Structures are given as structure tokens and as C-alpha cells.
Amino acid sequence: MNIIKILLLIYFIIIQSISNAEINTFSDWVISFKKKAEKEGISKKTINTIMDKAIYLPKVIEYDRYQPEFYEDTKTYISKRVTNSKIKTGVSLYKNNLFINEIEKKFSVEKELLLALMAIETNFGKYLGKMDIVSSLATLSFDKRRSEFFTKELIILLKLIDNGTIDPSTLYGSWAGAFGNFQFMPRTISNYAIDYNSNSIIELKKLEDSFASAANYLNKIGWKENQPCFFKIDLKQNIPNKFLNTSAKKIKNKKKIHYFKKYIKNFDNIDIDKNIRVAIITPDKEIVPDAKNLSPAYLIFENYELILKWNRSLRFALAVCTLKKEFKNEL
């Protein structure tokens, strides 16, 4: 028993030493980052005020290494996110905030899509995240996996604070640095967020600004109103693997729908222009080792790929489009 206690004590001492080493190194990184931020034209006052409060968050690295988009199969992922409760809440939110109709008309983006995105991102603002965004972005910038990306996001965030676009006291959100009802990253805020209620500050935790900003983003990246996202298909076993997209990183081998006729069992049920170019995804082949089952499989359209720009996950886009359809049936 004494030996076990000694070993446990040694283990905790080592873990604590590693943690302290990370924090010390992180402190050095903050000093280096401050110099970089100053070169970007950010005021010393903003840099010091914000970055002096930044701390290393080990939990953020844990979250970064495990994301449900990459581990849950499609059926499980969608069933957890497309629920009767979300549909009921979304319908109620819409009926009590009819300004959403005005946003839909102005930006040519369906209200059902906006409701679906907000539902899946934050459950209509109930789960905005409690992480200090500055510390989250700093931790991910310090981490080597995607350091360049998150460093740029942190620089942009400091610029938004520096020019008064965002109130720094509200910057609590996801572990990845996303913020507000629709979980915008700093670059997205900078490029697409709107002060819709004209109060001289962008408030992405308020309905007007967040809905308008999300609609503006989708409009600017090319969303086509009332066009399909996907069509579920039953594939024949003779389809070549090269046509099966299993990753959202790059959708390849697009063809006109009629090209895939010989590979699709339910081809005659596809009531869409057969000259439209599409791709095929089989999302579960990515996470099920040596998967031979070609189900589920989907034809995906341009709008689906635009949702991948919002979140590069095949299952996320499927869930959004599925929930959008459910809202369409209710509104």
C-alpha cells in the first residue's frame, strides 16, 4: 500500500511539474504575442489590458482533441440535435420575434435555416459557452496543432476590441473562441457581423444583431434561397470508391445527377433537375473502421457545401439541413 501511495505521489508531482512548465512557457508566449499584436497596430493599452488576464486552459486542448463531429455516427449525431424540443422552441422564438421575417426578406436567407443554425449552435442562446474567449484563443495559439490559425483569430479579436466594435466584458463563449448566438469566430465577426439595431456596438448575444449577422454571412458566401441541401440515396455496391466523399475537407468528383444513375437504387425518386452537379457523401465510412456499408449516403448540392464553410463537418451540415426542413413543415 505504501508503494502505491509513493507512486501516486510521484505521478502527481510529475503532472504538476508538466503543467507548471506549460504555464511558464505560455507566459513567454504571451510576451512574444504582445510584440506581434503591437506590430499589427493594436494599442498597447488594449494589448496589456486584455492579454494580462489571459491564462493557459488545459481543458481547451482536451476539447480540441475530442470533437463529436468526428466520433459520432450520423444517426446518433442528428438524433441528438434534431429534437421535438428544439423544433418547439424555435417555432415559439420565431412567433415572438417577427422581425426575423424582415431579415429573411432583406438577405434572401430562409428563416428556417437561421433557426436551425441557432438551434444547433447554442440551443437558441441557452448554451453560449462559459470559456474566456481570449484565454481559449491564446491557449490554442500557443498549442502547435493550429497555432497560425488561432493566432490570426486572436489578433483580429484584439482589433475588434481596440476599435470599440465589441465589448470585451461579454467575451465568453466556446472553447474554440466562437461567440454569440450563432458562434461566430473573430474573423467572421470582422467580415460579416452587423449592428442591425444601430446602437453603435455589435451584440451577437442579442437577437437582432445575431440573426442579421448570420443572414448577412450566408448571403455574402452565396446562399441560394429555396434550393436543396441534400437528397438521401441508396447506393449500389458497384459504385467506385473515388465517388464516395467521407471527409468535409474537400468535396471531390462532382458530376451531373444523371451521371450517377447506374449507382443509385432510388434514382427515379430524385425529383430534382438531373443536370445539376452534385457530389456523393458517405459520412460514416470516415469513422467506422473498414466500413463496407454504403449507408447512409447522400447527394449534396451547392447550399450544403456552403454550410460546410460555416462548420467543416459533414454531419453538422446534415443536421442543419434536416432541422431546417422540420422548421419548414411547422412554419
pLDDT higher than threshold 60 for residue 20: no
Rounded to whole angstroms, the Cα distance separating 287 from 92 reads 36
Amino acid 28 reads D
Its domain, for residue 155, covers 2-66+129-179
- Distant-in-sequence, close-in-space partners of 177: CB < 8 Å, separation ≥ 6: 133, 136, 137, 140, 150, 153, 154, 157, 185, 186
Residues 272 and 134 placed together within one structural domain of the fold:
no
Band of residue 137 on the pLDDT scale cut at 50, 70, 90:
very high
Residues 85-108 have a mean pLDDT of 97
What CATH number is given to the structural domain containing 58? 1.10.8.350
User: Is residue 174 a part of any domain in this protein?
Assistant: yes
Residues 8 and 133 placed together within one structural domain of the fold:
yes
Q: What is the pLDDT of residue 47?
A: 96
User: Is residue 146 a part of any domain in this protein?
Assistant: yes
Q: What is the pLDDT of residue 279?
A: 97
User: Is residue 85 a part of any domain in this protein?
Assistant: no
Residues 155 and 19 placed together within one structural domain of the fold:
yes
User: Is residue 237 a part of any domain in this protein?
Assistant: yes
Residues 266 and 150 placed together within one structural domain of the fold:
no
pLDDT digits (tens, 9 = 90+) for 30-61: 999 999 999 999 999 999 999 999 999 999 98
pLDDT higher than threshold 60 for residue 21: no
Q: What is the pLDDT of residue 6?
A: 56
Nearest to 121 by CA among 329, 331, 323, 298: 323
Rounded to whole angstroms, the Cα distance separating 136 from 154 reads 9
Rounded to whole angstroms, the Cα distance separating 55 from 53 reads 6
Residues 141 and 257 placed together within one structural domain of the fold:
no
pLDDT higher than threshold 50 for residue 18: no
pLDDT higher than threshold 70 for residue 289: no
User: Is residue 296 a part of any domain in this protein?
Assistant: yes
Residues 218-240 have a mean pLDDT of 95
The chain-wide mean pLDDT, for the chain, equals 90
pTM more than 0.85:
yes
User: Is residue 315 a part of any domain in this protein?
Assistant: no
pLDDT digits (tens, 9 = 90+) for 158-179: 999 999 999 998 999 999 999 9
User: Is residue 33 a part of any domain in this protein?
Assistant: yes
Residues 34 and 174 placed together within one structural domain of the fold:
yes
Residues 161 and 259 placed together within one structural domain of the fold:
no
Residues 248 and 133 placed together within one structural domain of the fold:
no
Domain count, the chain: 2
- Distant-in-sequence, close-in-space partners of 36: CB < 8 Å, separation ≥ 6: 151, 155
